[in-house]
Amino acid sequence: MSGQQSASESAKVETETLLRQLNDEWVKAIVRRDAATLDQIMADDFLSAYPLEGDDKAQLLNDLASGDLRVEYLNRENVSVRIWGHTAVLTGRDSAKWFYHGSERSGNYKIIHIYSNRNDEWKLVAVQACHIP
């Protein structure tokens, strides 16, 4: 039993490490406006609950490509990962300076990223950011 438990714990640690790496790649890609990397990380049915006009993958990528969405910096702290089978939730706190259609939306945000393991590949399926006054 302890061998199974340690193998299970090892797999969980490996998955958490991977999800933290995907999170780091997401943050860097959003600042660099790297649509190719974001496209790889996000599921095709991705859903966003950011204060933007659209809420799907295509809209987010289009906003970045057009320059309608521009992130000057994004610092993510206090990252926590919870895993339940094929679903994982990553939470954290962002401080960011970003612009949407030329309007500055900078500040601090509580974030939630939801990942789903599909065909042995973790994909980002939803994000939400709540402004912290």
pLDDT at 8: 84
> Residue 126 sits in which domain range?
2-132
CB 35 within 8 A of CB 61: yes
35-59 b/e (C-beta count within 10 Å ≥ 16 → b): eeebeebbbeebbbebebeeeebeb
The domain that holds 94 is classified in CATH as 3.10.450.50
Model confidence band, residue 5 (pLDDT cutoffs 50, 70, 90) = low
Average pLDDT over residues 65-72: 94
Q: Evaluate if residue 2 carries a pLDDT over 60.
A: no
Numbers of helices and strands, H then E, in the chain: 3, 6
% the chain with pLDDT above 70 = 93
User: How many domains does one find in the chain?
Assistant: 1
Picking from 30, 42, 43, the residue whose alpha carbon sits closest to that of residue 71 is: 30
